Amino acid sequence: MGKQFGFIMDATDENEFIKMIIDSGGKVFQNKKRGAEKGSVQVYSLPEDIWINLYLAKDEFGEMNLRNIENEIQYIDSYASPVIEFGETIPRIKLKQIQRGRLYLVNKYWDENEQLIQKDEGLDKWYKELVKWIKKRLKCVETFPYDRVVKQYVSESLVKYVEDGFHLLG
């Protein structure tokens, strides 16, 4: 069980967001599947290579749960770990599409013994603080899909694409 908050964030705002996380005592992890370094690794800035999701954490919320996925390489189990998933915004300008980024928090989950596990309440509070930071930083743009008003939080450099009717995915 979780919650998510979608946004449309450019690389400049993504970099500022990651910097804010690290400067405030948070940690950022990436599950790497290619290259020399594989598995869950801590990163100290926005990755320059391809990334889809990063995992935001603070030590005070508990230890990471890792899973062996392939060849004994361990990756963060985002359902059981005290993390917030940060998904990348992917603009596809030639296709007139934008894949929204998101913050995603699993705050409860069922363990292997079918017990409902509640994550630290501080993690939920931090999630709300991160959403607040994004709402304050990005511009609120109203769109009208399916004849209803939807507020989109958009980096200034991408507002024109949203207003021009680019298809928003995710």
pLDDT tens, residue by residue, 27-60: 999 988 766 667 888 999 998 877 889 999 999 9
Range of 55's domain? Answer: 2-169
Cβ-contact 55, 78 below 8 angstroms: yes
User: Is residue 75 scored above 90 in pLDDT?
Assistant: no
Total domains, the chain: 1
- How large is the average pLDDT for residues 113-139? 96
Q: What pTM does this model have? A: 0.90
**Half-sphere exposure for 85 (CA within 13 Å, toward CB):** 24
Strands 139-143 and 2-7: what pairing?
Answer: unpaired
> Which of 120-124, 135-139, 147-151 comes out lowest in average pLDDT?
147-151
User: Is residue 23 scored above 70 in pLDDT?
Assistant: yes
Residue 143 is predicted with a pLDDT of 82
Cα-to-chain-centroid distance, residue 134:
11
3-state helix, strand and coil shares in percent for the chain, rounded to the nearest 5: 30, 40, 35
Share of the chain above pLDDT 70, in %: 97
**Half-sphere exposure for 87 (CA within 13 Å, toward CB):** 18
